[in-house]
Amino acid sequence: MNVPSGWRRLYAGTGLPPIVRRLGAVSFFQDVASEMVYPLLPGFLVALGGGPALLGLMESAADGVVAFVKAWAGKASDASGRRKGFVAFGYGGSAAARPLLAAVASPWQVLALRVWDRFAKGVRSAPRDALIAGSVAPRGRSYAFAFHRGLDHLGAATGPLATAAMVALGAPVRLVFLAATVPALAGFLTVVAAVPTDAPALARRQTRAAGGAARRGWRRALAAAAFFGLANASDAFLLLRAGELGLGAAALALVWSAFHVVRWLASAPGGRLADRFGARVSLVLGWIAYGLVYLGFAFAPGLATFLILMVPYAAHVGLVEGAERTLAVELGGSGRAGASLGAWQRATGLGAVVASALFGVVASALSMRVAFAASGGLAWVGAILIAGVRAPASGPVGSAR
């Protein structure tokens, strides 16, 4: 099959700095490891005596930890100017959690390891994204972010395939968790060996906001991000719902893999579109699409419809993942890239803390259908709020240090 050269360049990251491609490879390995585990985690938790409420509590606690740690790590990496240590610790911490998960004996131990893993993610995320933001020109920033996220999703597609193969061969769940240590270590070692210690030269050239109007726009954007976070419950509930509709462990792994293949395919083109038409426009469209699909999940009559809706749900991230990071850097003003990205991720994360807990409670007390419908409506409110935010007229500035 011949792939047009333009598409090959799009997915190969042609023209991007080496550090962006290397960090993409790191995220690929890490998500192979994470997604070997994630599709099996809800069922594993239930088998140990947990349920939807505990699943919601676990995901809320994880989201809360990662939200606060991202903001701290982004600001701290700005102050130090040397982001690699944060990135290496974050990936190393996640790798260390994999073999421990294979040995747990209670649902509360699963919760503790999940929270530790998210703590490690929080340490690495904003410093890593700040490295990417500082490595490319503003006009190509959404594509750079989206390319990185695309490799993350490609890893997330590969992990469930490895899980499905192991399950098909009769491997117990705990052995799958142990095997996930291998790609996690590969990601950590790639950071240690291939990511430079110092931030790239472009990392000190940021965007300075223009006056009080821009600062108000930044605060409004953070409020919109937090509000959309209220709609963004953990994808673990999608897996739980698919299991309720009849998918077994191996089938869940395959569906989760296909889900991330769609995300990978959508990411790079979505980043290009965000660079062309603006990050805010992409966010509005993406959040509207999210709300539509979640309402579809609420009223899906059966498994086939539910699985069809997973395709546009997966594809919507191509419009939002690069755009939201770009908008955070644009609107963060005189704040440094790490602090701005960390603040945005904290806002969305705090919303997600409430979202996962609330979704779990509503699903347990009423139904999954009601929980999905409520999330869809909240996503539309977030889209309305972000539509009213205007990016400042701005230009490059010198060192923000």
The mean pLDDT of 184-213, rounded to a whole number, is 66
Chain segment 228-277, per-residue pLDDT in tens: 888 887 777 787 777 777 777 667 777 777 888 888 898 888 888 888 88
Nearest to 319 by CA among 277, 266, 265: 266
The per-residue pLDDT for 4 is 61
pLDDT of 225 above 90: no
Residue 96, both tokens: 């260390």
Considering only CA atoms, give the Rg of the chain. Answer: 20
Phi/psi-derived region of residue 394, left when phi > 0, alpha when psi is between -120 and 50, beta in every other case? beta
* CA separation for the pair 196, 23 (Å, rounded): 11
pLDDT of 284 above 50: yes
The per-residue pLDDT for 29 is 95
pLDDT of 209 above 60: no
Nearest to 20 by CA among 128, 163, 166, 138: 128
Could you state, in order of their start, the residue ranges of all structural domains in the chain?
Answer: 18-387
The per-residue pLDDT for 120 is 92
Q: Where is 96: in which H helix or E strand? A: helix 84-101
The per-residue pLDDT for 214 is 55
Name the CATH superfamily for 18-387.
Answer: MFS general substrate transporter like domains (1.20.1250.20)
The per-residue pLDDT for 189 is 93
Q: Average pLDDT over the chain, rounded to whole?
A: 80
State percent of the chain over pLDDT 90: 13
Q: Are 378 and 186 in contact (CB under 8 A)?
A: no
Q: Residue 387 burial (CB < 10 Å; 0-12/13-18/19+)?
A: middle
The per-residue pLDDT for 236 is 74
The per-residue pLDDT for 205 is 44
Q: Which of 40-44, 54-58, 70-74, 224-228 has the lowest mean pLDDT?
A: 54-58
pTM: 0.82
Task: With cut-offs at 50, 70 and 90, classify the pLDDT of residue 23.
Answer: very high
Task: With cut-offs at 50, 70 and 90, classify the pLDDT of residue 27.
Answer: very high
The per-residue pLDDT for 198 is 59
The mean pLDDT of 106-133, rounded to a whole number, is 87
Name the more confident of 65 and 234: 65
pLDDT of 365 above 70: yes
The per-residue pLDDT for 401 is 29
